[in-house]
Amino acid sequence: MASGNTVLMRLVASAYSIAQKAGMIVRRVIAEGDLGIVEKTCATDLQTKADRLAQMSICSSLARKFPKLTIIGEEDLPSEEVDQELIEDSQWEEILKQPCPSQYSSIKEEDLVVWVDPLDGTKEYTEGLLDNVTVLIGIAYEGKAIAGVINQPYYNYEAGPDAVLGRTIWGVLGLGAFGFQLKEVPAGKHIITTTRSHSNKLVTDCVTAMNPDAVLRVGGAGNKIIQLIEGKASAYVFASPGCKKWDTCAPEVILHAVGGKLTDIHGNVLQYHKDVNHSARPKPDFFRAQLFLESHSCFSQ
Ligand code: AMP
Ligand code: MG
Ligand code: MG
């Protein structure tokens, strides 16, 4: 392990603070009451003012500090001067105290690609299912997802009006994942989590064919990986091309850092080069994510 003062660890430390700021923006837009909803490709593919402001905040904050990064954000926004109020300049000092895995110690800024989903679970956000929402910042090197940050702006939401909202989960391959308690699903239970708002016959047939004990339909790719690492589900299966690289990059790192696996149906790792097709897989393939803990072998590989 090298010292924490490497480009990668400085980027992760900044991404942590930047994701926190984005989470605050996501909460502020709800509090102000005007979501500014726009349909992108269809009625289940939405963009809100929070998606727009959070992306501006994340991408501009990262670009100011790390001008040679390749940053790819979900939302297609006009390039305009970003309000200084949206810029986050700080970094999470605790991360800088961690060592950098030696295989990443000499990475240069220009070697990294950052995949940004400023608000994952937008459909659920517009429906008030706020704990489904996450902010995702994934970091890739040589086409592989190697570090990631997930902010969950409404974590603790059910705890009542006085609860402190929000948490940030982060991870680096070879170092670990932090900011949550790793849990297993109850022994012998085979629980699949999948989409709640982008389903179709193939998606449901595929889940049914796996004969699970229960199906957990929740919004957001980030949120579904959280269901895996916190023991609410044993596998995430999505037989649809709808997920994009910004949906899977950060969640994949967190899952891999704790011993899970996110692959396409053939067991291949996903690619995160800057020129890659943004869809996770072209039709009609799909991906699956699973956490392997102790004797978990509920679904054959
Ligand atoms: P879901 O599990 O439905 O919350 O989807 C996870 C992520 O993939 C979200 O960012 C969705 O916006 C995206 N997604 C999944 N299916 C589609 C689709 N059919 N059209 C647009 N986005 C999709
Ligand atoms: Mg998303
Ligand atoms: Mg999004």
Q: Examine the pLDDT at 2 and tell me if it is beyond 80.
A: no
- Average confidence (pLDDT) over 280-296: 56
DSSP at 294: T
Residue of 198, 203, 246 with the most ligand 1 atoms within 8 Å of its CB, for mutation:
198
For the question of whether the overall pTM of this predicted structure is more than 0.85, the answer is yes
DSSP-assigned letters across all residues of 227-239? HHHBTS-SEEEE-
pLDDT at 295: 37
pLDDT, the chain, mean:
92
120 in contact with ligand 1, CB cutoff 6 A? yes
The verdict on whether omega for the bond into residue 161 sits within 30 degrees of 0, i.e. cis, is: no
Closest by Cα among 219, 195, 187, 202 to 265? 202
Q: How many CB atoms lie within 10 A of CB 275?
A: 8
Beta bridge partners of 167: 152
Whole-angstrom distance, CA of residue 98 vs CA of residue 1: 9
221-264 residue pLDDT tens: 999 999 999 999 999 999 888 899 999 999 999 999 999 999 88
Q: Examine the pLDDT at 173 and tell me if it is beyond 60.
A: yes
Element (H, E) at 23: helix 7-32
Nearest residue (by CA) to ligand 1, atom 10, is 120
- Average confidence (pLDDT) over 132-157: 98
Beta bridge partners of 145: 140
- Average confidence (pLDDT) over 153-168: 93
The verdict on whether omega for the bond into residue 284 sits within 30 degrees of 0, i.e. cis, is: yes
Hey, what's the torsion of the CAs at 272, 98, 150, 267, to 10 degrees?
40
64-90 residue pLDDT tens: 999 999 999 999 998 888 999 999 999
Ligand 1 centroid to residue 92 C-alpha, Å: 30
Ligand 2 centroid to residue 243 C-alpha, Å: 7
Whole-angstrom distance, CA of residue 57 vs CA of residue 19: 9
How far, in whole angstroms, is CA 235 from its chain's centroid?
A: 16
Ligand 3 centroid to residue 39 C-alpha, Å: 13
Task: Give the CA radius of gyration of the chain.
Answer: 18
Closest by Cα among 126, 124, 152, 116 to 219? 124
Per the listing, tokens 């509090």 go with 31
pLDDT at 294: 44
DSSP at 212: -
pLDDT at 168: 98
- Average confidence (pLDDT) over 10-37: 98
pLDDT at 299: 39
Element (H, E) at 82: none
Whole-angstrom distance, CA of residue 86 vs CA of residue 52: 11
221 in contact with ligand 1, CB cutoff 6 A? yes
75 in contact with ligand 1, CB cutoff 6 A? no
pLDDT at 239: 86
- Per the CB < 8 A criterion, the answer to whether 143 and 273 are in contact is yes
Closest by Cα among 192, 226, 220 to 117? 220
Atom of ligand 1 nearest to the CA of 240: 16
pLDDT at 296: 36
- What is residue 52's three-state secondary structure? helix
Pick the more confident residue, 223 or 3: 223
Q: Examine the pLDDT at 265 and tell me if it is beyond 90.
A: no
Which ligand has the shortest distance to the CA of 238?
A: 1
> Letter for the amino acid at 27?
R
Q: CB burial class (10 A; 0-12, 13-18, 19+) of residue 159?
A: exposed
Q: Examine the pLDDT at 185 and tell me if it is beyond 80.
A: yes
- Average confidence (pLDDT) over 47-62: 98
Nearest residue (by CA) to ligand 1, atom 23, is 242
- Average confidence (pLDDT) over 92-112: 97
- Per the CB < 8 A criterion, the answer to whether 185 and 234 are in contact is yes
Confidence of residue 6 (pLDDT cuts 50, 70, 90): very high
Ligand 1 centroid to residue 128 C-alpha, Å: 17
Q: Examine the pLDDT at 282 and tell me if it is beyond 50.
A: no
> Letter for the amino acid at 194?
T
Q: Examine the pLDDT at 196 and tell me if it is beyond 80.
A: yes
